[in-house]
Amino acid sequence: MALDLVQIVTNFCVALGSAAFGAWFGARQAFATSRRQKAFDQRLEWYLRTIRSMKKFQLGMVEYIEAAKISREAAYPIAAKVEPIMMEFLMCTTEAMLFTDRETFLRLTEGAKHFITLLNETAIARQNGESWSKVLDRTASVNKIVESLDFELTHRLRREFGLDKLKPKDLQT
């Protein structure tokens, strides 16, 4: 009888220990999975926010260029509308260090530097009375940089999802 009691207690302790370990391990795995999913969701949100801000900026720049072809005065209100969109894009570029790989981060920051340099040159050219067509050409160059960055970022997002590679000609309508 004493042997049976020892065996019962031992079996109970082993079962209790196994259940506790299983519960601890399962909870640990669930928390790790939850953290990974949250990190993925944050990265995805960053990609989408950045791509959207680039698209909005591109559309604003096209609108600005079209208005500027009519008159300088028509372009100024659109420039004021595009400025907050540009700031949103630059903020997303800054956040790239948190949410993307090194290559993408370096490409975005390099593109943003080039983009800001061109914008500054455009503003200086406008203040110095450079011909309006040259100012518009510089503005179109800025838009091309953003378009290139947008395409690269979209491609990287597609790669993360395991989707096939797009070519620039695929996006032309």
Judge whether 125 lies within some domain.
yes
- Domain ranges, residue 92: 39-171
For the whole prediction, is pTM greater than 0.95? no
Residue 123, amino acid: A
What's the pLDDT tens digit per position in 108-155? 888 788 777 777 777 787 788 777 777 777 778 777 888 888 888 888
The CATH number assigned to the domain holding 89 equals 1.20.120.230
pLDDT for 63-111, tens place per residue? 888 888 887 778 778 878 888 888 888 888 888 888 888 888 888 888 7
